[in-house]
């Protein structure tokens, strides 16, 4: 394979990766805990954008804290899994440092 064809393939892959990265960063992941009494929303950038807690739970701070932690961790895990799957499909599961 000549160097020009290789460079073109690399550029195409880079463009696809940039598109997937943009889509992932704009993705929204939601998770609940405490029987749905706590809802957390996380962006693909791993930023928590909202936490909703039903008023009924406010009497027990420990339950609220545990439920928030569970919901945040679930939403972040979903975002990470989605990123790994989509980027892995593009790179054919080759781990490349600095890409994700």
Question: pLDDT (tens digit, 9 = 90+) per residue, 1-12?
Answer: 588 888 888 888
- The whole-number average pLDDT for the span 73-99 is 80
Q: CA 36, 41, 46, 48 torsion: positive or negative?
A: negative
CB atoms within 10 A of CB 31: 19
Rounded Cα gap, residues 25 and 79, in angstroms:
9
Maximal C-alpha separation, the chain: 69
Burial (CB < 10 A; 0-12, 13-18, 19+), residue 78, is: middle
- Give the start-to-end residue ranges of the domains of the chain: 44-90
Q: What is the pTM assigned to this prediction?
A: 0.76
Tens of pLDDT, residues 26-57: 999 999 999 999 999 999 999 999 999 999 98
Whole-number pLDDT of residue 99: 52
């Amino acid at each position: 394979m000549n160097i020009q064809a290789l460079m073109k393939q690399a550029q195409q892959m880079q463009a696809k990766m940039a598109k997937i990265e943009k889509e992932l960063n704009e993705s929204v992941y939601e998770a609940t805990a405490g029987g749905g009494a706590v809802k957390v929303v996380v962006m693909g950038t791993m930023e928590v954008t909202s936490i909703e807690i039903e008023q009924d739970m406010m009497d027990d701070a420990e339950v609220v804290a545990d439920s928030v932690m569970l919901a945040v961790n679930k939403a972040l895990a979903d975002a990470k899994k989605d990123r790994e799957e989509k980027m892995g499909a593009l790179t054919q599961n080759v781990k490349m440092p600095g890409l994700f």
